[in-house]
Amino acid sequence: MAIRTLVRFLNRNGAGSSLLRRSYGGQGVEWSCDAGEGMYRELTCPDDQDILEAIGEWPEVDEDSGARFLALQGEEQEFLKFSYDPLGRSVRVRWRNRGGQEVVDVFREGATRISVHSGKRVTYLSVEFNMSECVGRMEIQVFPQFAVKDQLLLV
pLDDT tens by residue, 1-37: 333 333 333 334 343 334 444 444 555 555 444 444 4
pLDDT of residue 40: 62
Average pLDDT over residues 52-78: 93
pLDDT digits (tens, 9 = 90+) for 96-138: 999 999 999 999 999 999 999 998 899 999 999 998 889 999 9
Question: Nearest-CA neighbor of 31 among 6, 50, 11?
Answer: 6
